[in-house]
Structure 1
Amino acid sequence: MKKSILLSAVALCFSLSFSSCKNNEEKLKDAQKDMIQAQKKLIKAESESMREYDNFRMKISKKITDNELAIADLKIKAIDGTMSQKQKFNAQVEKLEIKNMELKQTLDAYGTYNADTWDAFKKDIDARTAALEKDFEAINRK
């Protein structure tokens, strides 16, 4: 009887230790699965962010190109008026050209892509683009 109780106790201890190892192995596998899922989500998020950046960059590049064409049109535009009016017009066109060039340089210089700088960069570019559009509207009204 003592032997069977002792054997039962040993068997119980062995099975408990074996099942706890299995639980640890299962926990490890679950943790590995969770880590793989987290890596997949991170890769997907990075991919979506890069796609958003690329779309934004293409949209702004198109605006810059459109601005360059509009500036070229303004440069060849003959305006009626005095010499001082023509000089003022040419100075305004030159300012547009400089602002457009600065916008292009800022867009080209953005190399550190991360979430912290992305929002600030996007707001800055959007504000510059909007200001440039207003300047174009103002000069075209004349």
Structure 2
Amino acid sequence: MNTVRTTSSDLPTDKELVLRVIPMPADCNANGDIFGGWVMSQVDLAGSVLPLRHSRGRTVTVAVNEFIFKQPVRVGDILSFYAKLTRVGTTSMTVAVEVVAERLSKQGQFIKVTEATLTYVAIDEQGQPRKVPPLSA
């Protein structure tokens, strides 16, 4: 479903804004759209913010549980990455990430371009999993 949001008040309220970035021409594929891999790397960065904060230390990505490209990303789009911790286990944390684009040509209009779910594990200095605090209600 293509969700066009016409005002900033329609942006996700159940998630935290963790990253904002503008893709550049060097990030394009041969079709002129932004590489999916570039978007994936930005989602991984955005997704890591809340687990890093929650665990108060090093985390690593262990799984990309789901990744959906809903719309192409274009040069000059202002991408906003919203994240929410959805599950906290003994050592792992699952994060939902939603990416919304404000198109260069349509300022003030927002469209969801990507959504993903990733899992991170907290690790100690030796790279071994370590316990994390439970998720607060």
Q: TM-score, normalised by structure 1?
A: 0.25
Question: Which structure's residues are more often helix, by fraction?
Answer: 1
Q: TM-score, normalised by structure 2?
A: 0.26
Greater C-alpha Rg? 1
> Higher RCO, 1 or 2 (CA under 8 Å, sep at least 6)?
2
Question: Which structure's residues are more often strand, by fraction?
Answer: 2
